[in-house]
Amino acid sequence: MYGSGIIKGMGVTLKHFVETYVEDLKLVFKGGRYNDKYMAERQGPKARGIFTVQYPEEKLPVPENFRYIPFLVFDTQKNEDKCTSCGICAKVCPPQCIWIVRTNDPKTNRPVPQPAQFTIDATICMSCGLCAEFCPFDAIKMDHDYELSTFERFTTLVFDKARLTKPDTYHAAIHPTDWARELQDAAEAARKDAEKAAAAAAKKAAAAAKAAEAAKPGGEAKPAA
Cis omega (within 30 of 0) for bond into 94: no
Q: Exposure string (b/e) for 94-131, b if CB count within 10 Å is 16 or more?
A: eeebbebeeeeeeeeeeeeeebeebbbbbeebeeeeeb
Determine if 39 is a binding residue for ligand SF4 (CB under 6 A).
no
Q: Which positions from 61 through 80 interact with ligand SF4, judged by CB under 6 A?
A: 70
Determine if 165 is a binding residue for ligand SF4 (CB under 6 A).
no
Torsions phi, psi for 62 (to 5 deg): -90, 150
Tell me whether residue 125 or residue 174 sits nearer to ligand SF4 (CB atom).
Answer: 125
Could you tell me the sign of the dihedral formed by the alpha carbons of 177, 183, 189, 194, in that order? negative
Contact 125, 97 (CB under 8 A): yes
Determine if 164 is a binding residue for ligand SF4 (CB under 6 A).
no
Q: Which positions from 78 through 117 interact with ligand SF4, judged by CB under 6 A?
A: 83-89, 93-95, 97-98, 100
- Nearest approach in angstroms of CB 107 to ligand SF4 is 23
Tell me whether residue 23 or residue 75 sits nearer to ligand SF4 (CB atom).
Answer: 75
CA–CA distance, 198 with 204 (Å, rounded to integer)? 10
Contact 167, 76 (CB under 8 A): yes
| Stretch of residues binding ligand SF4 (CB under 6 A), selected from 36-44, 127-135, 147-155, 194-202 | 127-135
Sheet (strand 158-159) strand order: 98-104, 111-121, 158-159
- Nearest approach in angstroms of CB 136 to ligand SF4 is 6
| Stretch of residues binding ligand SF4 (CB under 6 A), selected from 9-17, 132-140, 191-199, 214-222 | 132-140
Q: Which residues bind to ligand SF4, rule: CB under 6 A? A: 70, 83-89, 93-95, 97-98, 100, 120, 125-131, 135, 137, 139-140
